[in-house]
């Protein structure tokens, strides 16, 4: 996401610099964006070398949600990077006179699933897992630092982000569909909001530039939500393969997921998680430029090209 955002800002005429963890990545990006090494991110990171002459920060670094659990250490691991790292950057940014801090959070701050209506930015936070809790705590520490130092903040809570370079469950699903595997999700009638990388980058550019973004929390999503079967069919069209869906009662899927220790993963397939981004679109006068079906097609085509590319 960082490279895509840097490219969009650079082409729009905004000078950009970025941070990397490893020293061997230091130098100039292909676009001429300066990359600065800051080492591992946490409560002791020294960001000072990356904060010279910086007016706006977009904070993307996080320990992201993973399926593998570390038991009681989960929250501690998330907090070190997501909370401690954010607090450290915000404090140093405020001391250096940074005007605006744009923080990419997560819809998991609102919760894990929706039922009668989509999530709205005005809803009280209700995170359930360690990742969501750490993101909510990061929002709180950022608000505290910003209030004490009079620094502008903008918080963006996206759902699942897909696009070129996507990993995780979306990539695995593309692989299953492309290989023609039969999938037992024909009876799933959920609704899931997602956001394509191009749409999220476009929104973040607005958050960097627009005076209306100051102090706001924005929910973000594509213009259309899909059920799991609809997503699979969209992927199938992009791969040129048939969507091999067969019906299995959702209760049976959940039971099998529990037996296999994959109940959370099954929940992502069967539960609804819809986002109402009307307030975001109205305030920022923003519309997702890329449809969900076009975004899925571009993502699938990129993944398939990457698989076919020769390896050095």
DSSP secondary structure string for all residues of 93-152: HHHTT--EEEEE--GGGT-S-BSSS-B-TTSPP---SHHHHHHHHHHHHHHHHHHHHT-E
Q: Which of 70, 78, 131, 162 is catalytic?
A: 131
Q: What are phi and psi of 206, to 5 degrees?
A: -60, -40
Contacts 24+ apart (CB under 8 A), 120-123: 120/219, 120/276, 120/279, 121/157, 121/216, 121/217, 121/218, 121/219, 121/279, 121/280, 122/279
| Token pair for 273 | 């998680």
Sign for the pseudo-dihedral over CA of 126, 212, 55, 150: negative
User: Whose CA is closest to 101, among 44, 150, 33?
Assistant: 150
Alpha-carbon distance 149 to 177, whole Å?
Answer: 51
Tell me how many degrees the CA angle 92-132-175 measures, rounded to the nearest 5: 110
Concerning whether 162 is annotated as a catalytic residue, the answer is no
Quickly tell me which residue has 């946490």 as its tokens.
42
Contacts for 53 with CB less than 8 Å, ≥ 6 apart: none
DSSP letter string over 39-89?
Answer: -S-STT---GGG-TT--EEEE-------SS--GGGHHHHHIIIIIIIHHHH
Using a 10 angstrom Cβ sphere, with 0-12 exposed, 13-18 middle and 19 or more buried, the burial of residue 304 is: middle
Residues classed as catalytic: 131
């Amino acid at each position: 996401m960082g490279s895509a955002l840097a490219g969009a800002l650079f082409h729009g005429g905004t000078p950009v610099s970025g941070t990397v963890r490893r020293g061997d990545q230091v130098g100039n990006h292909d676009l001429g964006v300066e990359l600065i090494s800051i080492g591992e991110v946490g409560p002791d990171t020294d960001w000072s070398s990356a904060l010279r002459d910086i007016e706006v920060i977009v904070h993307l670094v996080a320990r992201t949600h993973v399926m593998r659990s570390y038991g009681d250490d989960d929250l501690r691991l998330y907090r070190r990077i997501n909370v401690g790292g954010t607090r450290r950057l915000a404090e140093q940014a405020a001391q250096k006179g940074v005007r605006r801090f744009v923080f990419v959070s997560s819809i998991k701050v609102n919760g894990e699933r929706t039922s009668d209506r989509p999530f709205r930015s005005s809803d009280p936070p209700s995170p359930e897992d360690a990742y969501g809790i750490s993101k909510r705590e990061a929002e709180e520490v950022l608000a505290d630092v910003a209030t004490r130092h009079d620094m502008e903040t903008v918080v963006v809570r996206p759902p699942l982000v897909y696009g070129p370079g996507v990993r995780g469950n979306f990539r695995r699903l593309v692989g299953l569909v492309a290989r023609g595997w039969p999938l037992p999700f024909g009876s799933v009638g959920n609704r899931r909001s997602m956001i394509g990388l191009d749409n999220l980058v476009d929104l973040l550019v607005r958050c960097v530039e627009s005076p209306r973004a100051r102090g706001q929390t924005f929910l973000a999503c594509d213009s259309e939500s899909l059920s799991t079967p609809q997503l699979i069919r969209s992927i199938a069209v992009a791969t040129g393969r048939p969507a091999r869906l067969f019906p299995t009662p959702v209760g049976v899927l959940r039971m099998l997921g529990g037996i296999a220790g994959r109940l959370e993963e099954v929940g992502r397939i069967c539960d609804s998680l819809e986002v109402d981004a009307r307030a975001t679109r109205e305030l920022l006068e923003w519309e997702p430029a890329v449809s969900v079906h076009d975004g899925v097609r571009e993502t699938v085509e990129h993944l398939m090209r990457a698989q076919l590319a020769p390896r050095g």
